[in-house]
Amino acid sequence: MIRRREVALRWLLTFLLLIAAIVTWRSAGFFGQSLLAQTAIFALFAMSVDFLAGGAGLMSLGQAMYLGVGAYVTAVLTTIWHVPALATVPIGMALAGVIAVALGAVIVRFGEIIFIMLTLAAGEMLYAFVFANRSVGGSDGIASIPRADLTGIGLDLGSGPVFSAVVLVIAFAVFVFFDALLRSPFGLILTAVRQNPARARALGASINRLRTAAYVVSSIVAALAGSLLAQLNHYASPDLTGWELSGLVLIMVLFGGLGSLSGAALGAVIIELLSHFTARYTSHWELILGLIFIAVVLFAENGIFALLSKGAARLAARRRKERC
Amino acid sequence: MTVQLLNGLQLAMLLFLLSVGLSIVLGLMNFINLAHGTLYMLGAYLGLTSASITGSFWLALLIAPLGTALAGMALYQFLLRRLGGGSPMRQILLTFGVIYVGIEIIRIVWGNDSHSIDPPALLSAQMVVLGEPYPAYRLFIIVLGLVTMAVLFLVLERTRIGAMVRASVDDREGATCLGINTQRLFLSVFGLGCLLAGLAGVVAAPVLSVYPGMDIAVLIYTLIIVVIGGPGSLPGAALGSLLVGMADTFGRVFIPEFSAFLIYVVMAAFLLLRPQGFVAIR
Amino acid sequence: MLSCSGINKSFGALAVVRDFSLDVPAGERHAIIGPNGAGKTTLFNLINGVLRADAGTIHLDNKDVTRLPPERRARLGLSRSFQRNSCFPDMTVAENLATAVVLSWRLEWRPAPSIRRFPAVHERVEVIAASVGILDWLEMPARSLSYGTQRQLEVGLSLAGEPRVLLLDEPTAGMSPEETKRIQALIEALPRSLTIVIIEHDMDVVFGLADRVTVLDAGAVLMRGTPQEVRTSAAVQARYLGEAPA
């Protein structure tokens, strides 16, 4: 019933990415481990945005807001109130969930254009709040954020390879989670709502409730990514909440292929690597990013995953012909 | 108190110049140009450069809006039109990409520092309004805004073009059936919106600092005004600008740490109570 | 089973539905006919909840649904097919029908990793597909179906949720004579536990199926009665039947 080839391709791509990650992990030095971990975190974040934009059809330019919530909850609770970092992760996710329910319930009922405007505004609201308030670090951000203490189960997150390995496992778990969600009855209805909301309504779908649910789930995972990012870099800054990051992750998703899930992860990998290598030669990475964004919207609407999918379809057709 | 009221009014006028074009275009073509703030920023920088080259603020006032309108039309002609019919969402995402490009181009050409220009000699005096001293230049902004508002209102209500715009906002398909060339109408309104954004930029330069990044804060306020005022409505844009302008000004004075929040609270209240906007067009 | 009382709907100055009332007892097959622009589809939009009436009430099995949104009415057993094919184009026929089944069984809120955990869904999908004659197309994307087959899917979607009241909006629109016969047979075979209100232009379908007919003209009821009464009514002849294609 469910499109089998696409799901198979999705898993294949994920396994390929995992293999590439493991190979990198074994040979990477200090900086490489950090990049690997950051890429995995962005892949996680990108998948959450893909679930929202590709799965539920809700294009948001403000998911970085929830990333920021996760990052700042960890940052503030650990540095100011000395709460163990591990505990701050679910707290940040819970706070993100609460905000997402309140905000989402209001804004999902608007058309997609107003929705995108409001998500952009909401993200900037958090940016303005954090920027102006010294109590949460202000424009300087918050530094010296500790990592979670997992020594109880024999893991020292202070070590680069250990941290990136843990993050990779979490990223894979998030992939499995979203994949299951998309293949569940909830995912089926979400897809239906995306393709023909009027018909879905006439069949009994509570559109607003479904969309809000998708928005909340996506935002909670974004907060997880934020908390991990804060722990990786031991630093949280207002930039984590703003439009630049929201746009960056959307580029990753569109580049990889909207709705493909593992395409988003692939997009994250490619864009992250690109940004790190161009940063060596120019400080105008954002210009290149903007041009990539424009190019993707103009020419590669369905992203890399669509190309892979078409290639696989052609392969299957050729094999079928050979059998006859 | 008078000073704050006037400051609020002045900000409201700037915001009106920015939001009216955006709002009508949204009502007309169901499209929003997220790079509108970028055009505002371009107007400010063009004003900066032309004022320093020509030595005349008044020439800058002429050059900057025209340059900005040209940039906007180029954006439309070479990028947006490529997406043809399609969903407006792709066009909107395209303009979002332009924000990144725009900010970097500004940085490359003009650098990262903050600039300012002096108001023209004619307007650098202090006037007295209701017993309080107030800069003449800021009064100029208020007057300019009100005049623009009046002109736009007259055009919208009294001319044929205005009637075509109102009809198209009300019912796009019906208007096309009546023979109104909505595509050309859109182009003119879009161009006017870019012109006004550039005007707002150059006019704002003497009172606000000019720096890369000034586009986003103003964009957000503009988006909020469009949503509160109701897409496609001039009176909505005017009332929304007034509300946001006053809220921001008074918020900064009385509750500085939370002034950012105040605007959003106002917006949220509106979304909950009157989701179709101040003046519901549809 | 379904009753409308005093329904009024205007768009601006244009009154599209004027003081419409109707009582459909359980199990009846009620046809609504009338010239184009008479307000038939608008009426369905009002009954179904897509539009809100300016005045009047709608009751479904004695429950007041006037203020309820479409999804609530659907869950109370009101189902509707659309005049223009309205399915989920990028999903397979099976997925389309599964959507309808999942929604009617409220499975979308049940946490489950895969829809395969619910074999009953697939069974029901096959049953419906067989009943509307699209079993051969289950794995095809809906957009690749021919017009007539899509129409069958449309009917299938509206039946999938085991509704109690079915609103059929011109189910045979644009169909060839054989396809029309097939749909007609399908509808006639539906159990009497289902109440059906059908908008149709094809008079053969109407007179073969309907227990009663309402003739709508410019938003108001011109006449109501058995198919025979309507066929022989002079008023209807003058207004509608004379010019309509058979």
The A-side interface with B (CB below 8 A) comprises 59, 61, 106-107, 109-110, 112-114, 116-118, 120-122, 124-125, 128-129, 132-133, 242-244, 247, 250, 254, 284, 286-287, 289-291, 293-294, 297-298, 301
Do residues A265 and A42 lie in contact, with contact meaning Cβ atoms separated by under 8 Å?
Answer: no
Q: A196, C109: Cβ pair inside 8 Å?
A: no
Residue among B34, B94, B220 minimizing CB distance to A297: B94
pLDDT of residue C6: 86
What is the number of domains present in chain A?
1
Residue B282 — pLDDT band, cuts 50, 70, 90?
Answer: very low
Most confident of A44-48, B166-170, C6-10: A44-48
β-pairing, C29-33 vs C195-199, is parallel
Give B49 or B274, the one with higher predicted confidence: B49
Q: What is the CATH number of the domain that holds A109?
A: 1.10.3470
Q: A189, C90: Cβ pair inside 8 Å?
A: no
Interface test with chain A among B87, B99, B109, B220, by most A beta carbons within 10 Å = B220
The chain A residue lying nearest C86, using CA atoms, is A199
Q: Does A204 touch chain C (CB under 8 A)?
A: yes
Find chains touching chain B: ≥3 CB pairs under 8 Å: A
pLDDT of residue A282: 83
Q: C88, A206: Cβ pair inside 8 Å?
A: no
Task: Summarize the confidence of residues B226-244 as an average pLDDT.
Answer: 89
pLDDT of residue C246: 47
Name the DSSP letter for residue A159: S
Q: B104, A297: Cβ pair inside 8 Å?
A: no
The least confident of A93-107, B85-99, B235-249 is B85-99
The least confident of A16-20, A295-299, B16-20 is A295-299
Checking if the pLDDT of A186 tops 60, the result is yes
pLDDT of residue B130: 75
pLDDT of residue A301: 72
Residue B122 — pLDDT band, cuts 50, 70, 90?
Answer: confident
pLDDT of residue C165: 93
Residue appearing with tokens 């409730």: A209
Strand runs labelled E in C67-194 = 78-80, 165-169
Note down the domain range covering A23. Answer: 2-323
Q: A195, C89: Cβ pair inside 8 Å?
A: yes
Checking if the pLDDT of B21 tops 80, the result is yes
Q: A-chain residues within 8 Å CB-CB of C100?
A: 203
Average pLDDT of chain A is 90
Is 0.95 surpassed by the pTM of this model? Answer: no
Interface test with chain A among B96, B252, B255, by most A beta carbons within 10 Å = B96
Give kind and range of the element (H or E) at residue C150.
helix C147-160
**CA pair distance C41, C33, nearest whole angstrom:** 11
Question: How far is CA A243 from each of CA A125, A141, B31, rounded to the nearest angstrom?
Answer: 10, 17, 19
**Per residue in C200-218, pLDDT tens?**
888 888 888 889 998 888 8
pLDDT of residue C241: 58
Question: How far is CA C205 from each of CA C130, C166, C187, rounded to the nearest angstrom?
Answer: 22, 16, 10
Q: State the CATH class of domain B2-273.
A: mainly alpha
**CA pair distance A190, A187, nearest whole angstrom:** 5
Residue among B83, B96, B227 minimizing CB distance to A118: B227
Do residues A74 and A89 lie in contact, with contact meaning Cβ atoms separated by under 8 Å?
Answer: yes
Do residues B245 and B15 lie in contact, with contact meaning Cβ atoms separated by under 8 Å?
Answer: yes
Kindly state the percentage of chain A with pLDDT values over 90: 59
Average pLDDT of chain B is 84
The chain C residue lying nearest A176, using CA atoms, is C113
Which residues are registered as beta bridge partners of C64?
Answer: C59
Give B113 or B107, the one with higher predicted confidence: B107
**CA pair distance A127, B213, nearest whole angstrom:** 13
- What type of residue sits at position A310? K
pLDDT of residue A31: 87
The chain A residue lying nearest B104, using CA atoms, is A287
Give A186 or C84, the one with higher predicted confidence: A186
Q: Does B94 touch chain A (CB under 8 A)?
A: yes
Three state DSSP letters for chain B: CHHHHHHHHHHHHHHHHHHHHHHHHHHHHCCCCCCHHHHHHHHHHHHHHHHHHHCCHHHHHHHHHHHHHHHHHHHHHHCHHHHCCCCHHHHHHHHHHHHHHHHHHHHHHHCCCCECCCCCHHHCCEEEECCEEEEHHHHHHHHHHHHHHHHHHHHHHHCHHHHHHHHHHHCHHHHHHCCCCHHHHHHHHHHHHHHHHHHHHHHHCCCCCECCCHHHHHHHHHHHHHHHHCCCCHHHHHHHHHHHHHHHHHHHHHCHHHHHHHHHHHHHHHHHHCCCCCCCCC
Give kind and range of the element (H or E) at residue C93.
helix C93-104
The least confident of A147-156, B37-46, C41-50, C232-241 is C232-241
Task: Summarize the confidence of residues C69-96 as an average pLDDT.
Answer: 91
Distance from CA of C94 to the nearest CA of A (A): 6
**CA pair distance A1, C97, nearest whole angstrom:** 11
Q: B-chain residues within 8 Å CB-CB of A61?
A: 96
Task: Summarize the confidence of residues C172-179 as an average pLDDT.
Answer: 83
Longest Cα–Cα distance in chain B: 57
Q: A113, B105: Cβ pair inside 8 Å?
A: no
**Per residue in B154-198, pLDDT tens?**
888 888 888 888 887 777 777 777 777 777 788 888 899 999 999
Q: C48, A202: Cβ pair inside 8 Å?
A: yes
Task: Summarize the confidence of residues C140-168 as an average pLDDT.
Answer: 90
Name the DSSP letter for residue A147: P
Q: What six digits make up the tokens of B248?
A: 């921001």
Kindly state the percentage of chain C with pLDDT values over 90: 30
Residue A145: φ, ψ to 5°:
-80, 125
Q: B-chain residues within 8 Å CB-CB of A132?
A: 256-257, 260
Kindly state the percentage of chain B with pLDDT values over 90: 23
Residue A73 — pLDDT band, cuts 50, 70, 90?
Answer: very high
**CA pair distance B210, B227, nearest whole angstrom:** 26
Q: A-chain residues within 8 Å CB-CB of B103?
A: 286
**Per residue in C108-149, pLDDT tens?**
888 877 877 788 899 999 999 998 888 988 888 898 998 888
Task: Summarize the confidence of residues B109-121 as an average pLDDT.
Answer: 81
pLDDT of residue B44: 92
Do residues B227 and A114 lie in contact, with contact meaning Cβ atoms separated by under 8 Å?
Answer: yes
Q: A-chain residues within 8 Å CB-CB of C92?
A: 1, 3
Q: Does C95 touch chain A (CB under 8 A)?
A: yes
Q: Does C234 touch chain A (CB under 8 A)?
A: no
CB contacts < 8 A (A, C):
105
Q: Does C88 touch chain A (CB under 8 A)?
A: yes
pLDDT of residue C240: 63
pLDDT of residue A234: 93
The least confident of A25-34, B263-272, C174-183 is B263-272
Residue C28: φ, ψ to 5°:
-75, 150
**CA pair distance B62, B57, nearest whole angstrom:** 9
The least confident of A318-322, B115-119, B166-170, C105-109 is A318-322
Task: Summarize the confidence of residues B34-46 as an average pLDDT.
Answer: 92
Q: What six digits make up the tokens of C48?
A: 């179904």
Q: Does A4 touch chain C (CB under 8 A)?
A: no
Residue C93 — pLDDT band, cuts 50, 70, 90?
Answer: very high
**CA pair distance A41, A35, nearest whole angstrom:** 10
Give kind and range of the element (H or E) at residue C127.
helix C119-132
Q: B79, A298: Cβ pair inside 8 Å?
A: yes
Helices (H), chain A: 4-27, 30-50, 64-79, 85-107, 112-132, 160-183, 185-195, 197-202, 207-233, 243-256, 262-278, 285-299, 303-323
ipTM rounded to 2 decimals = 0.88
Checking if the pLDDT of A1 tops 70, the result is no
Q: A-chain residues within 8 Å CB-CB of C99?
A: 188-189, 192, 200, 203
**Per residue in B70-111, pLDDT tens?**
999 998 888 887 776 667 788 888 898 899 899 999 988 888
pLDDT of residue C96: 94
Checking if the pLDDT of B281 tops 50, the result is no
Residue B278 — pLDDT band, cuts 50, 70, 90?
Answer: low
